[in-house]
Structure 1
Amino acid sequence: MGKKQFYKTIIFITFLVIVSGCTNDHRSADWAYSFVVWDGFMFKICDEYVTEIGEEIGQVTKFSDMEGTYSGNFSNTYKKGTKYLVIKGISTDEAIAVKELDGRFRKAIRIGKYGEK
């Protein structure tokens, strides 16, 4: 391979890398944090676990790690069917509990209406 062909190959490969990096058809979202949506409000998942659990109030109805706006009780982290519960002594206007796969309950803090900036 001559120098001319070598440079053409390098330019072609560089072009392919740049073009493929610009598409986002199947790219995962880059959300800043894990969250759930319940009753039209977004709740940010905390590192804190809670033990004083009340009644079940809902569950994840739609999971996706792809950016978009979804209806129902949506999550970017938890799979469909994950339970939401009341935390005893804390209003759902402030926080809810989300049941983890290991049976523990993670606190989720309400941060605002879902879909609003």
Structure 2
Amino acid sequence: MFLRLKYNFICIVTAIVFISGCSNSNPLDNSSADWAYNFVVWDGYIYQLTDEYVESVDEEIGEVTKYSDMEGTYSGNFSNKYEKGTKYYAIQGINTDEAIAIEDEGKYKKAIRDGKYGEK
């Protein structure tokens, strides 16, 4: 009788450990944002955000038209960091093929072009 209870206990504990090991580490975390970095998309190209701010910007060149923190492929000037309506600017002395500036709380954060959007 004792061996049977011990066997049942071991089976139950093993099953619990196995099942809990197959689940998310935090079952309340429903976020699926798995991008490697924050970015914006402008004119079909992805621009990786940097920690660098720029002092001088030229004209406004666009704005975020779609925001989502859920990984996927989206159309338009998309961002996984900035809300819809956030403005994009050309940077004085830098071609937009290289970098653009993103309005960030009254400052302008530099974003480096990282290739065509959706090709990685």
**TM-score normalised by the shorter chain: which range applies?**
0.7 to 0.9
* Alignment partner, residue 16 of structure 2: 13
* Alignment partner, residue 103 of structure 1: 106
Whichever residue aligns with residue 80 of structure 2, its letter is N
**Can you give the 5+ residue segments of structure 2 that lack an aligned partner in the other structure?**
25-29
The 1-side partners of 2:21 and 2:38 are apart by 30
* Alignment partner, residue 92 of structure 1: 96
The 2-side partners of 1:8 and 1:27 are apart by 33
Correspondences of 1:26-105 after superposition (within 5 Å): 26-100=30-104, 102-105=105-108
Query: CA RMSD, aligned part only?
Result: 1.9
TM-score, with normalisation over the residues of structure 1? 0.83
The 1-side partners of 2:19 and 2:84 are apart by 37
**Runs ≥4 residues deviating over 6 A:** none
The 1-side partners of 2:12 and 2:85 are apart by 50
User: What do residues 56-113 of structure 1 show as CA deviations (whole Å, max 9, x unaligned)?
Assistant: 111111112222111111111112221111111211111110011x211100011111
Kindly name which structure, 1 or 2, has the bigger radius of gyration based on alpha carbons. Answer: 2
The 1-side partners of 2:10 and 2:86 are apart by 54
TM-score, with normalisation over the residues of structure 2? 0.81
Shift of 1:53: 1.2
Whichever residue aligns with residue 51 of structure 1, its letter is E
